Each structure stands twice: as C-alpha cells, then as structure tokens.
C-alpha cells in the first residue's frame, strides 16, 4: 500500500518536475529571490532562505528520481530479457545478466569483447579476400564460373 502510494507520488512528481513549466517556476523563484536581496540588505537570513530551500528540494528529489529510475531500469531490463529469450541463437543466460556480480559481469564483458574482435577480424579477412578478387580482375569469379561449367559438362560427356 505504502509502496504503491509512493510510486504514484514519485511518478507524478517526476512527470511534473520534468515539465518546462516547473523549470520556469524554479527560474522565477530565483529571480524573486535575487530581486528581494536589496529589501533584505543581502543578509545572512536572505541567503539562508535560498540555500535551505534548494537543499531540501534536492534532498527529496534524489529519492523520487531514484524510485522512478529503478522502475524504468527494471522495465527496460524485462523488455530486453524478453527479446533475448525470443531471439533464435541468442544466449539465454544474457536474459538475467543484471543479477551477476561485478566480477562475473567483467568476465562476460571480456568474453563478449573477444567474440566481437574475432568477428571483426573474420569480416576484415573476408573483405580483404573480396578486394583481392576484384584487383585480379575478378579471377576468383572467373575460376568459380569455369569450375561450375566444367562440373555441368562432365556428367554429359560421361553419359555419351
């Protein structure tokens, strides 16, 4: 019950404070505070008002933002997990990767980097082979066409 109420309050507050009107209101508060400085002779109390107000707002906003961020991250994680589980050929252990320790995450990261490096090298090797074939006037293609032609002709000649 308390959690649901807090979530609703946090969500509403996050939505409202993220609106341009809230920003303009904050700017107006600062302008009023600056303009009121001469009336209060720029006293320590005058400075304390803005310092205390901004500190309290910041302190409370940390908890509201953290609550909203936790929920958003969990929702994104669940969506990503569903996509990983639904993809053919994907490693299903990645669906719950957020539960791993820092050391385990580091090991998975290093393994993924190694896989990416191997894939990059493989792609570069294939590109280099293709470029070499184009520089030779397409001789690889010509040879492949000649082999295909020869294999088509050989059954015909053996059947005569």
In terms of domains, do 57 and 118 share one?
no
Are the C-beta atoms of 114 and 122 separated by less than 8 Å?
Answer: no
Q: Which tens digit of pLDDT belongs to each residue from 12-48? A: 988 899 899 999 999 999 999 999 999 999 999 999 9
Q: Could you tell me which of 77, 55, 70 has the C-alpha nearest to residue 11? A: 70
Residue 136 within a domain: yes
Q: How many angstroms separate the first and last alpha carbons of the chain?
A: 89
In terms of domains, do 52 and 75 share one?
yes
User: What pLDDT is stored for residue 160 in this prediction?
Assistant: 45
Total domains in the chain come to 2
Listed residues 69, 90, 111: the one ending a domain: 90
* Burial of residue 10, with CB atoms counted within 10 A of its CB: 0-12 exposed, 13-18 middle, 19 or more buried: buried
Residue 125 within a domain: yes
In terms of domains, do 57 and 124 share one?
no
Q: Which tens digit of pLDDT belongs to each residue from 88-141? A: 877 777 778 888 888 988 998 898 899 889 999 999 999 998 888 766 655 566
Residue 95 within a domain: no
Determine the structural domain holding residue 107 and report its residue range.
100-147
């Amino acid at each position: 019950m308390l959690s649901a109420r807090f979530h609703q309050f946090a969500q509403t507050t996050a939505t409202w404070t993220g609106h341009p009107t809230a920003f303009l209101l904050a700017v107006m508060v600062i302008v009023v505070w600056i303009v009121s400085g001469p009336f209060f002779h720029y006293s320590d109390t005058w400075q304390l008002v803005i310092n205390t107000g901004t500190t309290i707002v910041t302190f409370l906003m940390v908890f509201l933002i953290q609550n909203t961020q936790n929920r958003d991250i969990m929702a994104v994680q669940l969506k990503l997990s569903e996509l990983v589980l639904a993809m053919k050929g994907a490693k299903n252990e990645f669906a719950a990767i957020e539960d791993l320790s820092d050391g385990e995450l580091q090991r998975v990261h290093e393994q993924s980097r190694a896989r990416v490096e191997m894939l990059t090298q493989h792609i570069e090797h294939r590109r280099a082979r293709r470029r070499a074939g184009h520089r030779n006037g397409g001789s690889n293609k010509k040879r492949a066409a000649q082999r295909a032609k020869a294999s088509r002709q050989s059954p015909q000649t053996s059947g005569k």
